[in-house]
Amino acid sequence: MTAQVKTATAPLRRAEPAARPGPGAAEIAIENASKVFGTGEGAVVALDGVSAAIPGGQFVCLLGPSGCGKSTLLNAIAGFSPLTGGSIRMNGRPVVDPGPERGMVFQEYALFPWMTVEQNIRFGLDIKGVARSEADAVVARIAQKLGLSDFLGRFPKDLSGGMRQRVAIARILALDPPVMLMDEPFGALDALTRRTLQDELLRIWAEYRKTIVFVTHSIEEAIYLADRIVVLTYRPGRMKRDLIVPLARPRDTASAEFNALKRELAGLVMEEQQRFTQAELTGSAVD
Ligand SMILES: Nc1ncnc2c1ncn2[C@@H]1O[C@H](COP(=O)(O)OP(=O)(O)OP(=O)(O)O)[C@@H](O)[C@H]1O
């Protein structure tokens, strides 16, 4: 059976209840987002006219091969690197710089190596001036949710990759941002650890219903996690497909529906992968 793929603008007919945004989950409006790096002959058009309205509480995956602008778009949503054209708004307000309402998790853990797990989780709360007793309670609660309670005194170097990434997620959750931005957060993990953390993330998302924008190269990861998958084209990064995943959770990666969707997305991503390979071979973008 072929999985039914719906465009995100089509009315939602879901195999599960529609996402309930958590209190304060934020909507993100991306309008005609464009980004050019450099000028003249050497200019790289990383994004070109990407638009998407992301409702509060939605779990969106940005999918595509290397160089299609996924991180560029995520960094623009984070406010790390402004667009050169178009706009991004969060709850109607233009995103112009980084802010505490948008927490970012990177692939490379980004923990402070000289701090313990507890200090890493607590760091943002201290910066915010949260009272000690309140911060203690938040750290204890988040550590418990992520299975870190017995590791609070350890340093990052003494943790596995999976545990470090739990700490990175815990740091963000402690600040309770309405939006979580995740740039290939599980890309460096082995398959079993990756699946475990995907399940943890889904559990956390189901509880808090934050808006999540998650970058991945992995088609399976995108289908396993997302409400919605945005496929970008290789240079310039344009919207290739914007689809709602019509599968109930927990998703069965062995099901016919899952694999039909995987095949369909693989076809789309392969087209862009070929453009990437061709560009690498010729040393230029294929616009
Ligand atoms: N600072 C920069 N200066 C020049 N070009 C850049 C810069 N950052 C990104 N690019 C180019 O913009 C395009 C999009 O890059 P981006 O990192 O967003 O892609 P991506 O889809 O996230 O790729 P990957 O999965 O490999 O991280 C690429 O061609 C990249 O080489």
ipTM of the complex: 0.96
Both 184 and 257 in one domain: the answer is yes
What atom in ligand 1 is closest to the CA of residue 235?
29
Predicted pLDDT at 58? 96
CA 27 to ligand 1 center in whole angstroms:
25
287, part of any domain: no
The reply to whether ligand 1 has any atom less than 6 angstroms from the CB of 279 is no
Same domain as 276, residue 185: yes
Output the pTM of the full model.
Answer: 0.89
CATH of the domain at 191: 3.40.50.300
Among 177, 195, 210, the domain-final residue is: 177
Determine the pLDDT at residue 152. 96
Residue 48 phi/psi, 5-degree rounding, is -140, 100
pLDDT tens, residue by residue, 157-182: 999 988 999 999 999 999 989 999 99
Closest CA to 50 of 25, 68, 27: 68
Looking at the structure of the chain, the number of domains it has is: 2
- Classify residue 8: in a domain, yes or no: no
Task: Say whether both 240 and 160 belong to one domain.
Answer: no
Residue at a domain's end among 152, 177, 202:
177
> What domain range is 121 assigned to?
109-177
Check whether residue 81 and residue 185 sit in a common domain. Answer: yes
User: Are 149 and 265 part of one and the same domain?
Assistant: no
95 found inside a domain: no
Q: What is the pLDDT of residue 219?
A: 96
- Tell me what pLDDT residue 119 has: 96
CA of residue 72 to ligand 1 center, whole Å: 6
Tell how far the Cα of 47 is from the centroid of ligand 1, in angstroms. Answer: 9
Inside any domain, residue 194: yes
For the sheet containing 211-216, what is the strand order?
A: 6-7, 239-244, 228-232, 59-63, 211-216, 179-183, 102-105
Which of 165, 217, 151, 171 lies closest to 196 in space, CA to CA? 165
The pLDDT, as a whole number, for residue 21 is 66
Angle at 15 between CA 11 and CA 21, to 5 degrees: 70
Give the number of other CB atoms < 10 A from CB of residue 115: 15
Task: Report whether residue 23 contacts ligand 1, using a CB cutoff of 6 Å.
Answer: no
Q: Give yes or no: residues 162 and 188 share one domain.
A: no
Spatial neighbors of 32 by CB under 8 A, at least 6 apart, are 49, 50, 51, 85, 86, 87
* 101 located within any domain: no
Identity of residue 102: R
What does the H/E/C string look like for the chain? CCCCCEECCCCCCCCCCCCCCCCCCCCEEEEEEEEEECCHHHCEEEEEEEEEEECCCCEEEEECCCCCCHHHHHHHHHCCCCCCEEEEEECCEECCCCCCCEEEECCCCCCCCCCCHHHHHHHHHHHHCCCHHHHHHHHHHHHHHCCCHHHCCCCHHHCCHHHHHHHHHHHHHHHCCCEEEEECCCCCCCHHHHHHHHHHHHHHHHHHCCEEEEEECCHHHHHHHCCEEEEECCCCECEEEEEECCCCCCCCCCCHHHHHHHHHHHHHHHHHHHHHHHHHHHCCCCC
In a domain, 153, yes or no: yes
Q: Are residues 196 and 274 in the same domain?
A: yes
Best mutation site among 45, 61, 62, 70 for ligand 1, i.e. most ligand atoms within 8 A of its Cβ? 70
Q: Show the low-confidence residues of the chain (pLDDT under 50).
A: 1-18, 286
**Are residue 77 and residue 198 in the same domain, yes or no?**
yes
